[in-house]
Structures are given as structure tokens and as C-alpha cells.
Structure 1
Amino acid sequence: MGRTRLITSVTARVLEGQAVAIHGPRGMGRSTFLAAVTAGVPHAISVRLQRRGVPGHGVSVVAAAFPQATLDELPDRMRSLLLDPRTLPATDPAERLGYALTELLTAQAATAPFVLVLDDAQHLDAVSLAALRAAASRSLGPGAFGALVAIGPAEVDPTTGHPRTVTARELSLLHVELQPFAAADTVELLAADDVPTDTALWAHRESGGNPGLAREIAAAVDGLPPEEAARQLGSLARTRVHELTEPVRATLQRVAAMHQPTTATLQRIGGETAVASVRAARALGLVVTEDEYLRLTPEALGDVLLESVDSDELVALHRELAEHADSEGLTRYHLALAGDTGTTPADLAAAATGCAARGEHDLAAQLYLLAADAGTPERDEWLTLCLENAVIGKETRVLHRATRAAADLTEPSLSVRAKLALVELGDSAPDEILVAALYESREDPTLQARVLLQRARLLAGSNDLRSAMDSAGRAVELARRAGRTDIEVDALTVGAAVGRTLGDPDARRLMEEAAALAGDPRPGQVHTSARYIAARFSLHDDDLRRARAAFVDMLADVGPDAGYDTVHVLRSLVEVVARQGRGREALELAGRATRAATHFDTPVATTWFIEEIAESVGGTFERTRVVSSRGVELARRERDQRYLRRHLAHLGLALLHLDDLEGAVGVYRELRRLDADSGIRDLTSVRWHTDAVTALVLGGEIDEAEGLLAEVRAGLEDGLGAPGVAAAADRAAAEIAAARGDLDTARTLATRSIAAAEEHRLPIELARSLVTLAHIERRARRGGRSREAAARAREVLRPLHAVPWAEWVNARFPEGAALHTLEVEEPEGAADPLGDLTLTEQQVAGLVAEGASNREIAQRLHLSVKTVEGSLTRIYRKIGVRSRTQLATLVLGHGPR
């Protein structure tokens, strides 16, 4: 799970005779990965080393795994050298052993090309390593000998306390580092063990994506109440700490005491010893790097590491960290924890204010809490600021304390501000909190405006869009009365975004008004600002150059520590490049967004959405299906209508292009109901409508498809679309016309769609419309024009690395192939009794005529057997036959299909 593309790539390389080394920390699945690759090669010789032995021991273990018949072909002296290290000569043992190993490999390759699989190669002794290097450098012929090696954490050197150097890394191989799992992969892995999604997501976070550790954590805490689960996690952390050497323990204690620790800071304090310790801890799966920061896995490891540190040592530790801190905020933070009498609460609050202004909300929350702990008259104000910053910065370490303290606030303005922050946390009863806040703020128009603004955002998220518009409008009026332009801008922005979704013609005016009034967005709140939403409007309008430029500028401004800002700006960039068809760039940006989301504890619904966007253009449709299915399941359980729509749209897209028509139609019908219930008319932000038309046409539901397309056309006439939507609508109309047998109209519509997509530089839409034209020309018996359109679609996609789309085109129109699905040229107007069949139905009919069974048809067309059966039922109904024999006779009598 989670490594399909890498397994495929590595398998292909070793089958070509290349050598690949797999690295990864403990628990990352090196052995499992080796097993998966080994299962895909025809001849593999697998060896697992247990420990480092005498010189030549490694080669003797490898040689013993070869067939006895191969060993018998070697001269007795060579065979003895290979199997018994004691027979190695004192002079040049590695060279002699290397020649003997070369002979063994040559003898085996003469039988058949093979792959040598070597697990735990870190245990290779120096002589065996040199012999393997020498043998691998000698050519045995192209593809005769491939190698796959897994290299894990090395043994600890008792003199230094650090792992020994893994000399196996010196092998001249392609070195591949196994990366942590994405959240969807961890959920899928643990679901096989019947672990609930919530527990799986928590285990993913605590493990840093390490699958072995995630399973260990889930097994320890599954089904336990929170307090008992915390104890079990602490117990698990203690077992992991117990095996640490003193240098590694000391370095990790610094990590535990630091706020956002980095290797650079640790190196300033502890030099190369600290760097080596971090490397050792990473190899043991105790620490991960998120962006530039280090995080202990599980986080309970930090508490366990500091348990054994007495108060004097802890004071000294924080003083040391203060001396090496790289900002005033961090210096104040560590001095306060060291009990420095010269650091006053006012100093801490001032430092917190500076951090918040720079977007460092997590550190600001920590500093405000330390200032509040002094119990000065400013305590309540600082507690409120702590809570507000902790919510923005997702600083979970102080949220619980700040939340409990906020319950005691009595001053109305502070109480209302605290309640608004609590709503951001996704409290189980947000309506009750907001009603109470609205009552408390009744004498203060500024606070009332803030409460109504928050309510508008909450209602927009639940798709109660009309109520959201009303609340945003009232917030605008109150903000104007109070002279609070900042709140007015935010409320206008919410109103514009909601209005666009509803199809309100005033949405653009509201957005322009907000943009005209807006100043620079506040750090941590860029993703809700007028500047951000205006860029989202450009994205929805298919003005991709403007959108991309705006989001790139925003990303440079928000910096690496901006929490949700970083995640959402990256998410928007993923959407832009996905619409531009840039698959590789989409995956790279999605990876950055996922790492940032993990660091800032962003809800997984957002993470999965980003991943499925990237997968749908740069990965695979199967992977898109897996991730979006998980997203749909989670959104339904959390009653998150906004993300339910988003995940359903990508699930429908994946199912449609995996030829699961029944599943796709079901998804699109649910989306249609959701939008109707919420009054959503926008066609641009969640683009499912024309794909739904296509699914209905392919499924034979032509009347329903025409009804939905009529709604799309009406929306376009009302100005609710974008160039890409209009092009897709023409393509969908072409598919309906083709299904009705009006191929001339279909050709005209498809050609118009192609021209629009080309004009607006929308390559995915262009390729899809070219494929539609290729299908139409095929139906019209114009094989040459069909092949020309398909070839052009491939050329459009070729430089973009839009892998799933390129594979989809090639599956339907294989490059250079002359298949039964490519018709011969025939004069226009010739009778075609099979003309009412969809492409899939034509393919099924052609394979029936060849005598293929339903299962064989399913395998050849990459469909389910159930889909094939449904297609046959529709074929029989459309052309009036009752058996496979009648269908085959009709197909064969009408010429090749």
C-alpha cells in the first residue's frame, strides 16, 4: 500500500539488469517492499543477513542461497571459497572472493536472467562488500543479473554510542529512500486490521507516516478511552527510549525541550555529535522532518525523555537553548522556562505580539500563556490572545490549557473573542456558542459583526448558503456602523464567495468592493482574505496565468511557518497546475502541501482533497479513487457537506475513467441532489456536471443526460460558467448527439469544444475533446480521421506528464495499433445497425464476436464483470437481439469493429 508506482519502477529496473538499494528507517517497510518487488520478477534469489560475521561471511550466506546445481558447476576451490570463509587466503581475500562470486553469477545467468535480492545489507562485512562490488562491476550480459538490496539501521558502536557507518551505502547502486505514508495510505493499511478511521488518522499523525509504527500505535490504543490510550502511548514511548545510547538521548532531550527544533540549531549546540544523533534517531524511526523542523514520533516521546531530567538540569537545558535561539521570541520562551527573573510577563507578551505579527502564531500562543501564568491584571487578555493564536497556529500543546482557562473569562468582549476561537476548533455545538456570543455582544457592534462573520463562515461550510449570505450581509452593515473596515472586507469576501456558489449576480461586485477596501492580509489569515478569494475567482474563471501569479506571490509572502495559509495557498497552486495539465508539478506541490498540513495538524479532509487533485492529473485514477473514497467516508461521518461535494466530484471522475459507469452515475446523482438541496448553481468550483452527462450517456441514460446538460447550458447563459465549462458542455453535447446517431452535429460540437479548449490553453479539456472527436469519427467509419484525432490528443498530453490521462487515451486508441475497435473507412451515410451503441458497448460487442467470455472481456477492457454484463443487457435491448450468437452474427456481418 502506498508504494505502487515505486514498486513498478524498481521492478522494471531490476528486470533490466540494474542494481537498486532501498533505504528507510525502522518500520518503514523495507522488507515488505523487497517482497513486493520480488513477487514481480520471474527468477529471484533472496537472502537475508542476520548479523555481521567474519570476513567473507556475507558472501557465504549469499552463495548458499543459489541452487546446488549452479554451485556444482564451479571448480571445487571456488565453491569452497564461496561457502566457507575460513578457506579465504590471507592475501587479497576480497579479490579472490570477487572472482569466485562472478563465476557463480555467470553460471546462474546462463540458466536464466535472475535478480539477487539482499535484505539487511547493513550487516555485510567489509570483505563481502568488496567482493560484491567487484562482481557487480563485471558485465554478465544485458539484463542477465539484477540486484535489489535493502539497507537498514546499522548496529551501534559501543565506543561512540552512534551507529556504525553503513558501508553498504558505498555500493554503486541506484539508492532509493522509502518515504513516509500519506494519511490515506495509513488509513487503508489499518482498515485491513479493522482499525477505525479516527484511530488510524491519529496513529498516522503520531507515527509521522511510518507504517510499522502506526500499526504498533494503533494496536496499543485501539478501543481504549483517551486517558488509558495516553498511558499506553507513554508506555510504548518508554520502550523506544530504553534502547537509546547517551549521546542520542541527550540530543533528543534537547529536541523535546525546543519549540520547532531544527538540525541547524542542534548542530550549533552539539556539533557533529548532535547531527549524528539526529541521523541515528531518524534511522530508528524516532524522529521525522516536517519542512525544516524535527518532530518526535510518537509525540509522547518528548514527555518520556524529559521525565528523567531533574529541575536543575531542565533549567540549564533551557538556558543553553536560549543562548542558541535564532529569534527574540525563542530566546524569551526559553528564558521564561528557565525561570529567568529578568524576563517579565510584559516582555513575554511583547515578544508574543511580535511573533503574531510575523505569522508565528504557535510560538505567540506559548508566549502569551507563559505571560498569563504570572497572574498579572492583563491575565485574561493574554489568555484570550493565547487561545486566538493557538487556534490559528494549531498549537495543540497549549490549546487544552487555554480552552479551560477561557471558560472562566467574565469580561464580555474577551468572552466573545474566546467563543469565536472555540468555534474555529470545530466544537460539537457551534450554534449554541455563537448564539451565546451574539447575546453577550449585543451592546458592541464590532463584536456583533465578528460573531455574524464567523456564523456566515460556519453556515457556508455546512452549505446553508442562503443563511450564510444573510449573516455576511448583516456583518457588513454592523462593521460599517462601527467603522471597522477590516471586518467589512472579510464579510464582503465571504458574501462574494457564497454568492458565487449560489449563482448570485452580485458576487463579482461584492468581490470587487472587498478587493478595493482590503489592505494586506493578516498573517495566518491569508487563506480567508479578499486577496486569496479574488485569486480563487481567477482560478474558477480559468484565468490560470493570473491565478498562478497571485498564488505564487502569496506563497512567497506567507513563509514556511504560516499554518493554514501555507497549506491552502499550496492547495490552490495544485488546482491551477492540475488544470494546466502539469502532472509532475501537481504531485510535487501536493507533497509540499501534505508535509505542511501534517506539521500544522490540518484536517485530513483538506490533505486528501489536495492529494486526489494531484493524483487525478499526475498519478493514477485508481489512486484517485482510493483517496477520494476515504474522503467521502470521512465527510459523511463528520457531516461536512463542503468536502463531501469535493471528494464526490473526484470519486466520480476516477470511476468514470476506470469504466465503473454504475458507480460514477450513482456518485453524480448524489452530487446533483446535494446541489439542488443547497441551491448551488455555480459550475466552476466543483466541476462535476459535464462528467456526469458523459457517465449518463455511456450508461445509456440519454434522456437524463439531456436534462442535466440543459441545466448546465442555462447556467452558462446566466454567466455562471467559465471557458473550460463551456468547452466541456460542448463535448458533452457531442456525446449525446453521437449517442442519438446524429454524427454530423456531434462532429461540429466536438470541433467547437476543441477550438475553445485550445484558445484558453486548457490541455486536459483539449485532449478529452479530441478523444471524443476520435470516437465520433470512428462511429462514422472514418478510421483515418479517428486515428489523427487520437494522435493529436497523445501529442497534447505527451510533454505534460499527465500520466492518468495519457494512459486513458492510449488504452482507447493504442499508438500504432490496428485493433478490432478501429473501423475501416466507409462512405458517409452507410447503414450501421450498431450505430446507437456507445464506445464501450461497441468494444464489448466486438469481443463477443471474437468468442471472448465476459471475464475475458472485462480483463481486456479493464472493466468489472458486472459492467460487462450490464453493457450486454443494454446492447441486446438497443439492437433487438436475444443471444450472444445473434449479436456475433450481426457484428461479423457488418464488418470488423
Structure 2
Amino acid sequence: MTVRRDFKEPARCRPDLVIGRDELFTSAHEQLTRGGSVLLHGPAGIGKSTVLRALAVEYGDAARTVLRCSATESESHLPFLALADLFGLVLDEVADKLPSAQRTALESALTGRGESTLQRDGLALRLAVLSALRALAATRPVLLVADDMQWLDSASAELLGFAARRLGDTPVQLLCAVRTEGQEYDRQLRASPPDTLAVRLNPLSPAQVSTLLDHRGYTDLPRSTVREIHRTSGGNPLFALELGRALGENPTPPRPGEPLPVPTSLRALVLSRLDMLSDEARRTLLVASAGARPTLALLHAAGRENAEAETAQAAALGLLATEPEGPAVRFAHPLISAALYAEAPAQERRAAHTALSTAASDPIERARHLALSTTGTDPEVAARLAEAAALARDRGAPSVAASLGLLAARHTPADGGPAPDERRLEAAEDAIIAGEVDLARDIAREVLTRATAPAERVRAWMVVIEAAGQALGDVDAVYPQVLADAGDDPVLLAQVHYQLAWRGLVVQGDFAEAREQAAHAAELAARGGDRRNELMALALQASTETLMGHPDAPATIKRALREPQDPYVACHHNGTGMARFRWLLMSDQLPEARSTITALLREARRRGMVESEVHFQRFLAETELRSGHCGRALDLARESLRLARDSGIGLGASAMLTSLAEASGGEVGRALELAREATGRAEEDGDQMYLSRALAALGHAQSVAGDAAGAVTSLRRVRELEVGLGINDPARGRWQGDLAEALVRVGEPGEAQELIDVTRAHALRLGRESILAVLDRAEALVRAAQGDQDGALVRLTSVQDRFAKLGYGLEEARAAFAMARLRTRRPGPTSYDEAARLFRRCRALPWLRQVEAAAAEEPAGTAAAPAPVPAFDALEGLASMERQVAALVMEGATNREIAARLFISVKTVEATLTRVYRKLGIRSRVDIVRLAAGRHAK
């Protein structure tokens, strides 16, 4: 759960620092490489100039003549100014190559000597610009770089447009940028060569804004603040950096419920038209800016009687959106709302909030406005805010609850009733659930500076430890302090020993110690009547015993699942539901595991439990991967990783699982990158438990990539780690088969057999059927390496059947592939068709490529007809939801099953399938299934 911000050197015009524009940069660079031109367009501050400079550096090398101009608004009335910027330094080089009349006209225009005008010397000037470009291009290619083309003087624009339309095959390219609010770049496109790619720069995502702020040195901003910067800036890089700078220079951060401070530079930029509003219209807009979801009805209820006319006036000035929005009142850009609010005097702000505190229909909104309209402490206001926080918590909005809780603490008097710090700690706990770990940590640290009551101090220390996430080594010094604060209170001690159990797992890598601490925590919590912490400790004890292969694991799981249950614990990512899921998954009960984790994910989303959502999404991806639904698993894993990067939670674990999914259904190169990222994060955190998982993912990716030696190195390290950790259940990481097969490939069958024998003993004791099948597949390869081809084939045939019965589609396909490889060493016809069919059904692209490569290497006369091109390649032209629905149809899922697994309605599934049929040129589900089998639809 730690928020990592890697150190970055200061931004320079290098392509790798054009943040969030990788695909755009690549497509633009490819267009230039093909000899075409590029027009970048988008609103002010969106990063056009940054991308333009980076492309010019990357593409405009010494083999080209680069002509540059950058227009400004204040100089746009000066004729030929852009032309002078472009040709001023090369005029001497081309002057003697121009006819006399053209040379005279061009020199007069560029130097200002004479009275050259388009009206008087129009044709000569037009031809002179065209001839000058041709003369320059005769020696080497020309790249014309023009920024801010919207300010280009009209004379230069006309001349360049004339030349651009007539250059033909002359090696002259344009790289231009123009400010546009929508898609209005027709004028600039007409001034560009015919082969011009128009590229629109869109807003940055929250994760990209965070990276941008990191690059510029704003590394200490809480994640909640970064998210608010993204919202206020609308993803505009310039606006985001200005807001970040203002926050960095402001020693007092905004209080809960208050918008970000908007610097004067941005206020002037977005509020230049505000003075044209009437005073009453400005007050109406202030009320709208203070509201969370302003509508005309809300404005009327807040006393703004002429809201329709006043908002229409604002829309005409570009301050409000003009497109049809129904009853909503929407600002043209979020920054306009923030700047308008920041510009208003404090008294006017409070008046707006006072009006909204009675006008708003939602009790949470009414309470928030009441708080922002009140100064000083007020027990009634504090009580209403606390009630609103509880309501937000029940609605699954813990982030809102945290904000309201802090407002409640601010208005709570120090004497009588709930103390301010009690409400602050409740807000911190809400922040933890919402993934706002920086905010939670700051609140807890502040409380600890003055708290004296043991219960309050222990509660605050728990927040500090929770906020550390996997980096528990960073808070190692906390444990002696919190033990001292807990004294001999069993309830407080239970919380401490629960965290000590996690420390044993993550920092010490000692499963036996972790089990002992969790069991002790459960006993203490039961003694103190704390059912919630008793269940959390039992869930951790059960999960630890499961991973250890401890014989008490089933009994502990039953104890953890006994009534009464606690709804929060039941759906927590370390709770009782998760313990049950882990047991089901490791016991090969895939359908039950899928339904369990799907229900947990749905509940976590309903409650707004961000950290749990990240982990449950990842575990659902793992379940689909084991079931052989590689395409579905890859989509889920990528979504989990995106959510992890946006929230800063579970990054290493999500990268690890996405690596496995990429190796099975995506790109092996990407799988290797992600596995190395996960390994680096685990080593940085000192997290021994996830380090072994990350290395196992790396070894698997290396194995799929054909790097057997690398796989052996990585997976031997995994074996050493898990022996040291005391992990005896091979179903936890499932790396043993990969290591055994890689050992065979590097010529170490003896070591492979020894690993198989040791692992088989544990798998037999625990009843891990799929692991036994994996080991038998590996042992078949050992036998083949030792010359027993017949015995190997017999064993592989049995293995494939067992995987089919267990529902492990990808493992079944790997067994078929191993058989096909062995048969190529025997006389007679061979075929990879069965392996290709099974991999195609799983959408296992990297494995399918291996099959195709192996089939192509067969000796002449032995190979069967090549397998058809994978039918699901056609899905790449579909939208994301369409691909997911089509892939599930290929796997045999019904419409109702698809709806449940994708969290959509059956009607949405039916509508999506209709679009799929149209795009693929087919007519039914049967045709999709035929595609899955590699047959053409009839």
C-alpha cells in the first residue's frame, strides 16, 4: 500500500519524458519516418509544444535541414513574421537559386525593406516560397517545425499553404502544433501537405498526472491531493503543474472539503471573461461552483431566481458548457469552477454554502455545506457531519466519509461528547479503506503527538502500520512502542499481535512465527469479546496454515467461518471469505473459487474498499488463468494493474499476476518486464513472501520465452526462498513443474527428478491433484530425456485427460504440446493440430506461436497440414467489451453466465453480440465457436 515515487531527472526534450504520450509519439514518429507530415492539436496547456519539441529532437537529425517558427498572439498581426523565422537563416543559401523576381519579392518580405505585399507581389511570393523549399530539399530533406499555428500571421499561413499543396514528392515535411478546443483544425490542415496525420492530444490519466508531478519534483503530495489535481486540471498537464507548484509553495494545504488553491496565473487564464458577467450572474456561478452536482433546480432552491438567463449568459461567454446537458449546469472546464471559487471573498463563499446547506437534497451534501458555512466549533454541526460520514460509509464511499469525518473533528469542541481525535481516527480508518494511505498516515501521526489514552494511541499506531502496506520493514520501530501502549489489555494486545503476525510473514519470512502470532491474537480477541479482530486473526492463521501445508488448516478455516460473522471481515482482502477462496483455489475447486471471488469483488466495489478491489480483481484473474481462459484473465489482470497504479496499492502483486497472464495470453516481452518490476518492488520492500511469487512469475516468463537457463536460475532461487519460509504446499506458487521442465532442457534430468519426488510427497499428502498432474507431465519429459519415449507418451496421454477433467485448460494444452513434440522424434506422421486447437480455445497466443514454430521446423513429409490462423486474431478489431464477450462465448459460456462474470446485464450481452456478429461478418454464436475451433464460418 506504499506510494512509490521513483526519482526522475529534470524533464528535457527527450521522447521518454513525454509522459502519457507513448502511443501518440510512436504513431507520429512512424508517420514522419514514412515521409508524411504531422499536425498536433488540442487545447491550451495539453502538451502540444512538449511533444512537438521531442519529435523534432528525435526525428530532425543532422541529415535534415530543420526550419523552425513559433508564433505568438501579440505578433500575429505582423505580416511575413513566421516566414522570416523559417527562412531568415537560409536565405543566402537559396537566394541565387531563385529567379530574379522571386528573389526580390522574398527578400523584401523577409527583411522588411521595400513594400512587398500579397496583393502586389502575390504570385512571385508564392512561387518564391515553393522554389526555396525545393532548392533546400534538393540537397537534403527538409523538416519544417511550426508551433502555435493558431497565431501564424495570415500572410505566412497563405504562402505556406500554397507551397504545401504543390510540393508533391519533394522531401519536405511539416511538423506543426495548433491550439484547438474540439476538432476544429481544418484551416491548419488545409495549410499542410496532403499526407498529413492529424493527432489530437487528450487529457492525461490520474496515474500520468502523478508521474508528471513526480518528474517536476512535486513528490510529497498525498495521493488524494494528486487525484484532486487531476480532477481540477481536467488532465491538462500545464494546469496540473501550475496547481502542483501552488501547493508546493503553500505551507498550509487546503482543509477537507475545500478546493485546491488556484494560482494567479491560472485564474487570469481561465477567468479572463468573468468581468463581462453581471454581478448577479457571477454570484449564481459561485453557487454552482460550490455545489457538487449543480442543476438549475438546485440553483433556484438556493435563491438564484434568474438562473436560466444567468447561466445562458455564462455559456455564451464560454464559461459553461453549451452542449445539451439536460438539467445539469456544467463548467466548460473544472479549472473554471475552481478558479471562480478561489477568486471569491470568504464571506461570499460562506453565503453560497449557507444557501446550499438547505437547498441540497442529499443529506451528505447538506452537511458538507453546513460545515463550510460555519466557523469555529459547533457540536450540532459536528454531529450532523458525523452522521453524514456514517451514511457515506454505508453507501460505499469511504473517501467521502473520511473527508466528512475530518470536517466533523474540526467542528467538535474539545470538551464533552466524542473527542475530536476520536473522529479523526475514524476518518483515518475510512481513508485506509479508500486507499488514501498518505492521508491516513498523516492523521494518525498528528493524533499521536497529543494522545495519551492507550486505546487511542494503539488505534493510531494500527493506522500507521496499515498505511505501510507491504513495506512493513519501514515501521519496524513502531512495534515496541505499540506493545508498551497496549499494556495488558487483551483487546489492544490482540490488534498488536495480529500486526506482528503480518510482520512475521512479510519482514521475517517466518510462517511458523506468523501462525503462532495470529493464533495468539485470535485467543486474545476472543477473551476480550472483540469478534471482528478474532475473525481477522483466524483468517490470517488459516491462510498461513494453508500456505504451509499445515494439517490444521481445514479446521482453522471452519473456525473462521463460524457464526456470527462480521460483514466487513467477510469481504476484506485478508478476511474469512478470502481464506475460504484461497483454500478452494489451491484444492482445485475452480468453479467454487470463481463464484466466491466474484461475490467478494462485487461486495468490495459496493463498499468502496479500494485495496480489496485491487486484490480481488487480481485473484479473479488468477482463477480464470488456471481455468485456461487466458484472454479473460489478461483483461482482468491488466485492469487490476491499472487500478493498482492509479491507487498506489498492490502494485507488486498486480504486476506479478499480470506477468503470468501476459506470458499465457499476451506478450512474453511484457511479461518479463512486469515480472522484473514485481521482483524489484518486493526486494525494495523487503517482502520475502511476494519475492518468491515475483521470481516464480519471472521464471515462468523466461520458460515461455525459451530461456531455459534463465528460468532455472530464477526458479532455483524460488525453491531456496520457500524452503526458508516454510512453504510446503506446492499449489501456492505452482512453479515446480516449470523448474523441472527447464532443468530437463538444460541437461539436468537428475535434479529435475529429485525435485519431482520431493514435491510429489507434499502434493500427495495434501491431495493436490492438479499439481500431481503437472509433476507427471514433467516426469514424462525426464523419461523421454533418458530414452523412454513410449513410457513418456503413455504418461502424457493420462496427464492430458486428468487436466481436462479438472478444468485446467491451459495445462491440458501444454500436455498435448509435449506429446506432439515427442512424436516428432518417432517415425510416421505427426501433427500439432490438437495442441494448436487447445491453445486456440484458451486464447494462449504465446503458446500458439510456439506450436506454429515447432510445426514449421518438422522434417519435410512428416508434418500435417498447418493449423489455421488463430480465429481469435479477428477479435483484435473489436472493442474491449466486445472482445471479452466473444471470448467467453468461445469458451462456451451462456449469455447469463457472461453477464454475471462481466457485471453487466443480459440485454447488454445480447446487444454486444449483435455488434460482434456485424463486425466479424458472421450470424450466430455457432459461428463464433467455429472461429474458436479454427474453422471458417459458412
* TM-score of the superposed pair, with normalisation by structure 2: 0.63
- SS at 1:517 equivalent: coil
- SS at 1:526 equivalent: coil
Q: Does 1:389 align with 2:424?
A: no
> Distance in 2 between the 1:708 and 1:513 partners?
34
- Which amino acid is 1:458 matched to? R
- SS at 1:663 equivalent: helix
> Distance in 2 between the 1:178 and 1:565 partners?
31
Q: Does 1:757 align with 2:803?
A: yes
> Distance in 1 between the 2:523 and 2:761 partners?
33
Q: 2:551 aligns with which of 497, 502, 505?
A: 505
> Distance in 2 between the 1:8 and 1:802 partners?
27
Residues 197 and 693 of structure 1: CA distance in aligned 2, closer, same or farther (over 3 Å): farther
Residues 552 and 36 of structure 1: CA distance in aligned 2, closer, same or farther (over 3 Å): farther
Residues 611 and 174 of structure 1: CA distance in aligned 2, closer, same or farther (over 3 Å): farther
> Distance in 1 between the 2:707 and 2:651 partners?
26
- SS at 2:824 equivalent: helix
Deviations 1:128-182 (A, max 9, x none): 99999999999x99xx99999886654xxxxxxx899555899997867678589
How many percent identity over aligned positions?
25
The answer for the alignment partner of 2:512 in structure 1 is: 466
Q: Does 1:439 align with 2:460?
A: no
> Distance in 1 between the 2:677 and 2:346 partners?
46
The answer for the alignment partner of 1:557 in structure 2 is: 603
The answer for the alignment partner of 2:398 in structure 1 is: 361
> Distance in 2 between the 1:539 and 1:153 partners?
54
Residues 516 and 399 of structure 1: CA distance in aligned 2, closer, same or farther (over 3 Å): same
Q: CA RMSD in A?
A: 6.4
Residues 28 and 780 of structure 1: CA distance in aligned 2, closer, same or farther (over 3 Å): farther
CA drift of 1:680 comes to 0.2
Residues 757 and 164 of structure 1: CA distance in aligned 2, closer, same or farther (over 3 Å): closer
Deviations 1:823-843 (A, max 9, x none): 35689xxxxxxxxxxxxxxxx
Please tell me whether the aligned partners of residues 332 and 351 of structure 1 are also in contact (alpha carbons under 8 angstroms). Answer: yes
The answer for the alignment partner of 1:708 in structure 2 is: 755
Deviations 1:754-774 (A, max 9, x none): 333334443432343333233
Please tell me whether the aligned partners of residues 71 and 152 of structure 2 are also in contact (alpha carbons under 8 angstroms). Answer: no
> Distance in 2 between the 1:23 and 1:403 partners?
46
Q: 1:335 aligns with which of 363, 367, 370?
A: 370
Q: 2:350 aligns with which of 315, 323, 326?
A: 315
CA drift of 1:672 comes to 0.9
**What does 1:656-671 align with in structure 2 at a 5 Å threshold?**
656-671=703-718
- SS at 1:700 equivalent: coil
Deviations 1:172-214 (A, max 9, x none): 97867678589799999999x9x99999999999997999899
Please tell me whether the aligned partners of residues 675 and 681 of structure 1 are also in contact (alpha carbons under 8 angstroms). Answer: yes
The answer for the alignment partner of 1:718 in structure 2 is: 765
> Distance in 2 between the 1:5 and 1:722 partners?
44
Deviations 1:215-239 (A, max 9, x none): 999x999xxxxx99997999xx999
Residues 31 and 306 of structure 1: CA distance in aligned 2, closer, same or farther (over 3 Å): same
- Which amino acid is 1:768 matched to? R
- Which amino acid is 1:431 matched to? Y
The answer for the alignment partner of 2:453 in structure 1 is: 411
> Distance in 2 between the 1:806 and 1:793 partners?
8
> Distance in 2 between the 1:803 and 1:251 partners?
56
Please tell me whether the aligned partners of residues 220 and 233 of structure 1 are also in contact (alpha carbons under 8 angstroms). Answer: no
Deviations 1:55-105 (A, max 9, x none): 9999999999xxxxxxxxxx9999999999999999xx9xxx9xx99xx99
CA drift of 1:7 comes to 7.1
- SS at 1:746 equivalent: helix
Please tell me whether the aligned partners of residues 10 and 37 of structure 1 are also in contact (alpha carbons under 8 angstroms). Answer: no
Q: 1:622 aligns with which of 640, 650, 669?
A: 669
Q: Does 1:636 align with 2:665?
A: no
- SS at 1:555 equivalent: helix
Q: 1:375 aligns with which of 414, 420, 430?
A: 414
The answer for the alignment partner of 2:649 in structure 1 is: 602
Q: Does 1:452 align with 2:473?
A: no
> Distance in 1 between the 2:172 and 2:836 partners?
33
CA drift of 1:376 comes to 3.3
Residues 423 and 553 of structure 1: CA distance in aligned 2, closer, same or farther (over 3 Å): same
Deviations 1:782-810 (A, max 9, x none): 6x42xx22x44444444655444444444
Q: Does 1:429 align with 2:451?
A: no
CA drift of 1:634 comes to 2.7
Question: Runs of 5+ in structure 1 lacking a partner?
Answer: 65-74, 106-113, 155-161, 222-226, 281-293, 828-897
> Distance in 1 between the 2:203 and 2:637 partners?
14
The answer for the alignment partner of 1:244 in structure 2 is: 266
- SS at 1:352 equivalent: helix
Please tell me whether the aligned partners of residues 315 and 321 of structure 2 are also in contact (alpha carbons under 8 angstroms). Answer: no
Which stretch shows the higher mean deviation, 530-539 or 604-613? 604-613
> Distance in 1 between the 2:21 and 2:553 partners?
44
**What does 1:102-121 align with in structure 2 at a 5 Å threshold?**
none
Q: 2:858 aligns with which of 819, 822, 828?
A: 822
Please tell me whether the aligned partners of residues 265 and 324 of structure 1 are also in contact (alpha carbons under 8 angstroms). Answer: no
The answer for the alignment partner of 2:303 in structure 1 is: none
Please tell me whether the aligned partners of residues 183 and 204 of structure 1 are also in contact (alpha carbons under 8 angstroms). Answer: no
**What does 1:65-84 align with in structure 2 at a 5 Å threshold?**
none
> Distance in 1 between the 2:223 and 2:424 partners?
30
> Distance in 2 between the 1:274 and 1:524 partners?
53
Q: How many residues align?
A: 767
> Distance in 1 between the 2:451 and 2:396 partners?
26
CA drift of 1:404 comes to 2.0
- SS at 1:685 equivalent: coil
- Which amino acid is 1:429 matched to? A
**What does 1:127-138 align with in structure 2 at a 5 Å threshold?**
none
- Which amino acid is 1:392 matched to? I
The answer for the alignment partner of 1:888 in structure 2 is: none
- Which amino acid is 2:858 matched to? L
> Distance in 1 between the 2:444 and 2:466 partners?
14
Deviations 1:356-391 (A, max 9, x none): 333333333333333333313321432432333333
Please tell me whether the aligned partners of residues 48 and 201 of structure 2 are also in contact (alpha carbons under 8 angstroms). Answer: no
Which stretch shows the higher mean deviation, 267-276 or 520-529? 267-276
Residues 185 and 339 of structure 1: CA distance in aligned 2, closer, same or farther (over 3 Å): closer
CA drift of 1:704 comes to 2.0
**What does 1:40-439 align with in structure 2 at a 5 Å threshold?**
50-51=70-71, 123=150, 153-154=179-180, 241-246=263-268, 248=270, 311-316=346-351, 318-319=353-354, 327-339=362-374, 343-373=380-410, 374-377=413-416, 378-379=418-419, 380-393=421-434, 394=436, 396-397=438-439, 399-426=441-468, 427-439=475-487
- SS at 2:567 equivalent: coil
> Distance in 2 between the 1:247 and 1:643 partners?
48
> Distance in 1 between the 2:178 and 2:429 partners?
44
CA drift of 1:633 comes to 2.2
CA drift of 1:526 comes to 2.4
- SS at 2:784 equivalent: helix
Deviations 1:660-695 (A, max 9, x none): 444322221211111001110122232322212222
CA drift of 1:473 comes to 2.2
Residues 351 and 650 of structure 1: CA distance in aligned 2, closer, same or farther (over 3 Å): same
- SS at 1:559 equivalent: helix
Residues 398 and 491 of structure 1: CA distance in aligned 2, closer, same or farther (over 3 Å): closer
